[in-house]
């Protein structure tokens, strides 16, 4: 089946693979990992996760390297974030070793769906959990169902990296200061969808979300973290409602390795114009360099130029080199699956 895939023209769509993995917490203990080729879940109509949004997910990738080996990137970090999501949703957290084992098993079962090195594509791994108790009342959900599935995905930027256009629009907040912004809950996506769609209709790639209390500070750039570069410093916003991106953490580490200063602190809207380079970061693209930011309300327009900044490019290459086995994995980020 995998043999039929046109590796050079993959997008970010679901493609059926050999297998997905299921695991269940029944209120007392975890089940064994179950491997299946069934793409459906048979769900009771009163499943709590469905009614009350008690669900969260993860996203990570496996890459076929220059040496032919398949590397899974920072799975233990995704496991820990999955646990913090579970904690905030009052769900049983899955132990790190079980999460990592499930991801490795999944990649092995679907090894012929890991795209060839030359394609620049990868195998996206999507773990998701939801409260699966049958109930109508709102309360802690003792039963959890977890699914791990995979899909081969193309490089985020087809035909090479390019600059994106970002809009600041205060019509919708992504997350409240003490809400669920710091976990990967599906509801955060649902609550920012409308402004994202509006931005796309207006010809922008992403919305910059501001803090919901004052609308003064930068939070997220679409479903990605924001960073700016100035005076040899990598600056990324700190806030209790930002999702801690594994990519951002990796870039901070690599920036430090390159001799840049690293600052994680509140970043105001006014500070945006002082950056030499700006970007959005996440598993999907690693870095989406930002070409311009337009503020709908103040009509201020910030232009970062027509070319990808040298620091953003160096960081991008350094991370990609580790993922594709072209550079030494100094920080032990990759698990060699096969
Ligand atoms: C997933 C996600 C990111 C990126 O996180 P990575 O671990 O780097 O993929 C950033 N912001 C939001 C809101 C997200 O959901």
Q: Which residues contact 196 (CB under 8 A, 6 or more apart)?
A: 206, 207, 222
In a domain, 336, yes or no: no
Phi–psi pair at 56, nearest 5 degrees: -150, 165
Q: Is the pLDDT of residue 1 over 80?
A: no
Residues 133 and 218 in one domain: no
Question: At CA 89, angle to CA 139 and CA 153, rounded to 5?
Answer: 135
pLDDT score of 4 more than 90: no
Q: Residue 184: CB within 6 Å of ligand 1?
A: yes
Q: 156 CA to middle of ligand 1, Å?
A: 14
Any domain includes 334:
no
Which ligand 1 atom sits closest to the C-alpha of 77? Answer: 7
pLDDT-derived band at 158 (thresholds 50, 70, 90) equals confident
CA distance 305 to 309: 9
Residue 37: exposed, middle, or buried by beta-carbon count in 10 A (0-12, 13-18, 19+)?
Answer: exposed
Domain-located, residue 287: yes
Q: Is 267:321 a contact under the CB 8 Å cutoff? A: no
Residue nearest ligand 1's atom 14 by CA? 223
Is the minimum distance from the CB of 247 to ligand 1 under 6 angstroms?
A: yes
Render pLDDT for 55-110 as a digit per residue (tens, 0 to 9).
Answer: 999 999 999 999 999 999 999 999 999 999 999 999 999 999 999 999 999 999 99
Q: Which of 89, 123, 153 is the last residue of a domain?
A: 153
Catalytic residues: 184
| CATH number of 139's domain | 3.30.470.10
Say how many Å lie between the CA of residue 250 and the centre of ligand 1: 12
Is the backbone of residue 232 left (phi > 0), alpha (psi -120 to 50) or beta? left
* The two three-digit tokens of residue 203, written as one number: 């010809």
| Count of beta carbons in the 10 Å neighbourhood of residue 215 | 14
Find the angle CA(64)-CA(323)-CA(120) to the nearest 5 degrees: 55
Pocket perturbation via mutation, ligand 1, pick of 55, 59, 238 by most ligand atoms within 8 A of CB: 59
Calculate how far, in angstroms, residue 225's C-alpha sits from the geometric centre of ligand 1.
Answer: 7
**Helix, strand, or coil (residue 59):** coil
Q: What is the pLDDT of residue 109?
A: 98
DSSP 32: P
Mean pLDDT across 139-164: 93
249 pLDDT tier (thresholds 50, 70, 90): very high
pLDDT of residue 22: 98
- 72 ligand 1 Cβ < 6 A: no
Residue 3 has pLDDT above 80, yes or no: no
DSSP-derived pairing of the beta strands 122-131 and 55-57: antiparallel
Residues in the chain: 338
240 and 310 housed in the same domain:
yes
Ligand 1 proximity of 220 Cβ (cutoff 6 Å)? yes
What are the pLDDT digits (tens) for 253-288?
A: 999 999 999 999 999 999 999 999 999 999 999 999
Which atom of ligand 1 has the smallest separation from the CA of 81? 7
DSSP for 64-120 reads E-TTS-EEEESHHHHHHHHHHHHHHTT-PPPPHHHHHHHHHHHHHHTGGGS--GGGT
13-35 pLDDT, tens digit each: 999 999 999 999 999 999 999 99
Q: Is 250 in the pocket of ligand 1 (CB under 6 A)?
A: no
What value does the mean pLDDT take over residues 179-205?
A: 96
- Reported as a pLDDT band with limits 50, 70 and 90, residue 160 is confident
Residue partners of 34: CB distance under 8 A and separation at least 6: 21, 22, 23
- Gap between the Cα atoms of 286 and 288, Å rounded: 7
Q: What is the CA(298)–ligand 1 centre distance, in A?
A: 28
Q: In this structure, are 75 and 185 located in the same domain?
A: no
Is the pLDDT at 159 greater than 80, yes or no? no
319 lines ligand 1 (CB under 6 A): no
Q: CA 274 → CA 57, 185, 267, 278, 292, distances in Å?
A: 35, 33, 11, 10, 13
What pLDDT is attached to residue 161?
87
What's the domain count of the chain? Answer: 2
| Residues 20 and 87 grouped into a single domain | yes
Q: What is the pLDDT of residues 288-329, one digit of tens each?
A: 999 999 999 999 999 999 999 999 999 999 999 999 999 999
Q: Are residues 148 and 172 in the same domain?
A: no
Q: CATH no. for residue 182?
A: 3.20.10.10
Is 127 among the domain residues?
A: yes
Q: What percent of the chain has pLDDT over 70?
A: 100
Distance between Cα 138 and ligand 1 center (Å): 28
For the Cβ of 181 lying below 6 angstroms from any atom of ligand 1, the answer is no
Q: Are residues 133 and 213 in the same domain?
A: no
> Structural domain of residue 31, as residue ranges?
2-153
With tokens 């698990």, the residue in question is 335
Cα of 271 vs centre of ligand 1, distance in Å, is: 23
The reply to whether the predicted model has a pTM over 0.85 is yes
CB count, 10 Å around CB of 4?
5
Share the mean pLDDT of the chain.
97
Query: Average of pLDDT values for 111-139?
Result: 97
Kindly state whether residue 330 falls inside one of the protein's structural domains: no
- Please indicate whether residue 236, judged by its CB atom, sits closer than 6 Å to ligand 1: no
């Amino acid at each position: 089946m995998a043999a039929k895939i046109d590796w050079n023209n993959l997008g970010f769509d679901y493609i059926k693979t050999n297998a997905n993995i299921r695991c269940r917490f029944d209120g007392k203990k975890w089940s064994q990992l179950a491997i299946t080729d069934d793409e459906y879940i048979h769900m009771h109509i009163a499943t709590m996760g469905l009614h009350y949004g008690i669900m969260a997910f993860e996203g990570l990738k496996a890459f076929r390297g220059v040496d032919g080996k398949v590397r899974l990137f920072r799975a233990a970090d995704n496991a820990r974030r999955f646990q913090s999501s579970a904690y905030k949703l009052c769900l049983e957290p899955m132990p790190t070793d079980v999460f990592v084992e499930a991801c490795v098993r999944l990649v092995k079962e679907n090894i012929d769906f890991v795209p060839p090195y030359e394609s620049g594509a990868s195998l996206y791994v999507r773990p998701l959990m939801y409260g699966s108790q049958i109930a109508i009342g709102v309360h802690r959900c003792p039963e959890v169902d977890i699914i791990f599935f995979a899909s081969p995905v193309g490089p985020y930027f087809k035909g090479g990296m390019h600059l994106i256009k970002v809009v600041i629009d205060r019509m919708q907040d992504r997350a409240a200061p003490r809400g669920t912004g710091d976990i990967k809950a599906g509801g955060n996506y649902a609550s920012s969808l409308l402004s994202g769609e509006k931005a796309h209709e207006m010809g922008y790639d992403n919305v910059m979300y501001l803090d919901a209390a004052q609308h003064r500070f930068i939070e997220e750039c679409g479903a990605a973290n924001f960073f700016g570069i100035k005076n040899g410093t990598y600056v990324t916003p700190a806030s209790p409602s930002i999702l801690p991106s594994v990519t951002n953490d990796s870039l901070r580490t690599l920036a430090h390795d390159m001799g840049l200063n690293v600052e994680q602190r509140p970043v105001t809207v006014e500070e945006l114009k002082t950056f030499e380079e700006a970007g959005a970061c996440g598993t999907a693209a690693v870095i989406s360099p930002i070409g311009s930011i337009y503020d709908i309300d103040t009509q201020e327009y910030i232009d970062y130029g027509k070319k990808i900044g040298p620091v953003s490019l160096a960081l991008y290459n350094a991370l990609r080199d580790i993922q594709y086995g072209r550079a030494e994995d100094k920080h032990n980020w990759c698990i060699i699956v096969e």
